[in-house]
Every structure is written in C-alpha cells, then in structure tokens.
Amino acid sequence: MKFFLDTANLNEIRDAATFGIADGVTTNPSLIAKEGGVDFKEHIAAICEIVAGPVSAEVTSQDTEGMLREGRDYAAIAKNVVVKCPLTREGLKATRALSDDGIKVNVTLCFSAGQAIMAAKAGASFISPFIGRLDDIGEDGLVLLQSIIDVYRNYEWKTEVLAASIRHPIHVIEAARMGADIATMPFKVIDQLFNHPLTDKGQAQFLADWHKSGRK
Ligand code: E4P
C-alpha cells in the first residue's frame, strides 16, 4: 500500500520525506487555505519538488469548462501533478475529458460505491472514498472502502482506490488489510503509526541494562 500525505504544509511534507515513506501528497482547498496566502500554483510546484510521486491539486470551479481550464493549467505545473475533481456530474465530465487528454485525475468526495463505479467509468486514475467523514455521521467508512475494493476487483479498471479522510492508525491498518492501493493521511497519523508504549519501555530497559553492566 502506498502512503500519501494529506497536507499542504511543506515542513510536514519534508519531514515525512525524510522517513522515505511519502509516496505522494493530496491537497484540498481547505488544506491550502490553512497555509495562509500562498500562491496556489507556486505552492503545488514546491510540493512537487519534494515528492516525486503523485501530488493532487484540486479544482474549485463548479462547471466542467472551468474545471478543464484549471485542470490543464495545474497539470502543466509538474509532471507528477494529478488533478483533483469533485464527484459531481460536472466533475466526472471533466474527469473523462482530462483523462482522455492523458491527464491523471483523482476523483474526490466519494461517499458511495455507486459513485466509485461512475468515477471508474469516467476514467479516473484514483477514487477517494472519505472514510472519516462517514464515521463522523454514524456510518462505517470502512464498509464503503471494502465495498469499492470488492467491486473494482471484478473488473480491469485502472482506477486506484485511495482511502481518504483517514483519522487514526486503525483506519490505515484496516485499509491495508482490505488491500486498498493507497492511504492518504495527515502527518499526525503517520507519526502515530510508529508508536507503541512497549517499544519505548523495552528500549529504555535495554539501554538501562547496557549501562548498568558498565558499558558506555
Ligand atoms: C483527500 O484527498 C482529502 O484531502 C482528505 O482526506 C479529507 O480529509 P478530512 O475529512 O480529514 O478533511
């Protein structure tokens, strides 16, 4: 399973890159807004310099024409830019046109298996089911993820399943158990995946015993 970082923060992206596990980055308008008044295209270019894998840049137009204009513009920033389109009728029309032009599209805001089928039929390179946001409203986001993976396994569609809106390590572990192609997560979740109190305790004990025996 590939690990994408769900952030637009350059420091977090640099930190994750030092672990050697950042296979890509997903941004969205809210994450970009958190970075203050940055120039969007320059900021995406800066992310693409740090990470060689796919970097999602989301369109904000509502209509297909606007999405196509933005998408083509963003795709020219760097060769690893993936255009992110919303799972709306207009978004899927844009997805079809962009992917016919050879531009990769990540279809975002997916909340049903039916929507995921439509995105695959539109030629999406990635489908992003939002697990955490379903959990937030009392539905099980992981059930949706499993359902999409089951459906996609029946066909030769090239669309990769990108588990999104991940809130904690259990989401990552379960997505991996199901065989999701990618999980995109905040830096905090990557950091939490390292942690176990018994690792800390065991390491402290090993070092204490080592020093007690007179070794330096
Ligand atoms: C995915 O590409 C989105 O940016 C993201 O996963 C949304 O997550 P959130 O529900 O934590 O905002």
pLDDT tens for 122-170 read: 999 999 999 999 999 999 999 999 999 999 999 999 999 999 999 999 9
Please name the residue whose Cα sits nearest to atom 1 of ligand 1.
164
CA dist 91 and 106 (Å) reads: 10
| C-alpha distance from residue 99 to each of 9, 92, 126, 133 (Å) | 28, 10, 11, 27
> Residue 36: which region, alpha, beta or left (left: phi > 0; alpha: psi -120 to 50)?
left
Round the average pLDDT of the chain to a whole number and report it.
97
- Rounded distance from Cα 130 to ligand 1 centre (Å): 7
Tokens linked to 32: 């970009």
CA dist 58 and 180 (Å) reads: 22
Cβ contacts of 149 within 8 Å, gap of 6 or more: 161, 178, 179, 180
Closest approach atom of ligand 1 to CA 28: 4
Q: pTM above 0.85?
A: yes
Per-residue pLDDT tens digits for 11-25: 999 999 998 989 999
